[in-house]
Amino acid sequence: MPINVRDAQAVYKDVGESIIFETLLLKRADQAQELAAVQALATNMQSVINSMNIRYPEGRLSVTFGLSAAAWTYLFPNAPRPKELEEFTTIEGPKYTAPATGGDLFFHVRAHNEAITYEVMDQFGSFIQAATTVLDETHGFRYFEGRAIIGFVDGTENPAEVEGADYALIGDEDPEFINGSYAFAQKYIHNMEAWKALKTEEQEKAIGRKKYSDLELADDEKAKNAHNVVSQDNENGVEHKIVRMNVPYSDQGVTGTYFIAYAREWAITKRMLTSMLTNSDRLLDFSTPITGALFFVPSKTVLDQIGEGEL
Which are the catalytic amino acids?
A: 154
CA 131, distance to chain mean position in Å, is 23
The SS3 assignment for 271 reads helix
Half-sphere exposure of 104 (CA within 13 A, CB side): 21
How far apart are alpha carbons 82 and 24 in whole angstroms?
20
Q: Where are the alpha helices (DSSP H) in 56-191?
A: 69-75, 114-128, 164-168
The SS3 assignment for 218 reads coil
How far apart are alpha carbons 271 and 249 in whole angstroms?
26
CA 7, distance to chain mean position in Å, is 19
How far apart are alpha carbons 136 and 290 in whole angstroms?
11
Length of the chain: 311
Nearest Cα to Cα of residue 64 among 304, 301, 307, 297? 297
How far apart are alpha carbons 184 and 188 in whole angstroms?
13
Nearest Cα to Cα of residue 291 among 251, 260, 248, 264? 260
Q: 43-58 burial by CB neighbour count: b if 16+ within 10 A, else e?
A: bbbeebbeebbeebee
CB 65 within 8 A of CB 297: yes
The beta strand positions in 35-155, using DSSP E, are 62-67, 91-92, 97-98, 105-111, 132-141
